[in-house]
Amino acid sequence: MQTRGSDTTRYRSRSRSRARSLRLLPALLLAGALALTGCSAGDGDSGSSSDKAAGPGAEEAGSGAAGFDRGAASQADGAKGSGGGRASAAPGPVVHVVHIASLTVRVKDVPKSLAAARTAVEDAGGVVGEETTDRDSEGHERSRVVLRVPAAEYEEVLAELEGSGRLVDRKASAEDVTEQVVDVESRITSQRASVARIRELMDRASKLSDVVTLEGELSTRQADLESLLARQASLKDRTSLATITLSLSETPVKQAQEDDEPGFADALGGGWDAFVTMFRWIALAVGAVLPFLVGAALLLFLWMRFLRGRTSRGGVAGSAPEGD
């Protein structure tokens, strides 16, 4: 009986505890939901506060990582483009051209136009070279100046100089020297390698005769290398800077007019020139023959004098015996 009573008591206590647990379950669920909500809000606030505390360093790190990713992506795209050969075309060969031009311009004021030309060339990055200024018989000033202009600004400066006055004459030429430039560069590379080999041999040489021979060969090859370097510098100067020869004048340049028909004055002048030319040639011919004529006349005079004298004496001597 006591055992059954104790079992019954235990059963009742378990039932009560289960009932209490069931009654507390909604409260526990509600408390858990509120706790989860608070934790999520706290995590958000802490995340934002940590971002603020990190400051610009974190932002810079993030931007650096993003930049690295973008750079890697661009390199990957470039690798694809170079591998496929479709993304970017290969650059064409460099062309080296020598530009030379000469201009003759009639202006109202030579010093003013010359100063404007200098300013235009210097603004373009060029230099002013040889300059010659003089005056004609009527006192008008004339100037001739050599201008060196960068090849990129050549056309623009040339057009500006042409518009400074009345264009009288214009000559321009362009010479392609790409093959010469490539040839000189190739020869310089080979010559430098040759000089380096000779120096290595000199370092290894042990005999005096070998050293003397190698020194002579080295001096010869260095002279050839210096000549090639000078030619390369000349080609670089001619291709990088165009040459413009500008002539400025205040007087009009006389030009022949082929369409005009000759008049009486032209015919008279031409006839007079022909007469003077013919008389001059005749005088030259007489002057050339005159010494021979004088010599021939002198011989003829002597021959006539002595021959006649002998003939007259012979005639008198032959007629005297007959008379006796």
Domain CATH code at residue 131: 3.30.70
Quick check: 53 pLDDT over 60? no
Q: Where are the beta strands (DSSP E) in the chain?
A: 97-106, 127-135, 141-150, 166-176, 241-249
Q: Same structural domain for residues 136 and 189?
A: no
pTM: 0.48
pLDDT of the residue at 257: 42
Please report, in angstroms and rounded to a whole number, the separation of the first and last CA atoms in the chain.
240
Identify the weakest region by mean pLDDT among 11-25, 120-134, 184-198, 265-279.
11-25
Domain identity same for 111 and 164: yes
Task: Indicate if 136 and 185 belong to the same structural domain.
Answer: no
Residues 125 and 164 grouped into a single domain: yes
pLDDT tens-digit map of 284-295: 888 888 888 888
Q: Is residue 84 over pLDDT 50?
A: no
With respect to residue 11, please indicate whether it lies within any of the assigned structural domains: no
Residue pLDDT, tens place only, 90-109: 556 788 999 999 999 999 88
Boundary residue ending a domain (223, 249, 275):
249
Q: Is residue 1 part of a domain?
A: no
Question: Residue 21: inside a domain, yes or no?
Answer: no
| Residue 313 within a domain | no
Residue 210: domain span: 179-238
Q: Which of 215, 238, 261 is at the close of a domain?
A: 238
pLDDT at 255: 43
Residue 147 lies in a domain: yes
Res 120: pLDDT: 92
Give the residue from 108, 127, 170, 250 showing the smallest Cα distance to 117. 127
Number of domains in the chain: 2
Q: Looking at residues 63-69, what average pLDDT do you find?
A: 40
Residue ending a domain, choose from 193, 208, 238: 238
On whether residue 78 sits in a domain, the answer given is no
CB atoms within 10 A of CB 161: 24
Domain assignment present for 304: no
The answer to whether 147 touches 117, Cβ cutoff 8 Å, is yes
pLDDT band at 172 (very low <50, low <70, confident <90, very high): very high
**51 vs 123, residue with greater confidence:** 123
Looking at per-residue pLDDT, the higher value among 10 and 307 belongs to: 307
Q: Is residue 109 part of a domain?
A: yes
Report residue 18's pLDDT band, with 50, 70 and 90 as the boundaries: low
Same domain for 213 and 169: no
Query: Partners of 135 in the beta sheet?
Result: 141
**Same-domain check for residues 154 and 115:** yes
Say whether 124 sits in a helix, a strand or coil: coil
Do 187 and 130 share a structural domain? no
Half-sphere exposure of 144 (CA within 13 A, CB side): 6
Q: Is the pLDDT of residue 73 over 60?
A: no
Say yes or no: 108 and 158 in one domain. Answer: yes
Flag whether pLDDT at 55 surpasses 70: no
Share of the chain above pLDDT 90, in %: 35
Same domain, 190 and 161: no
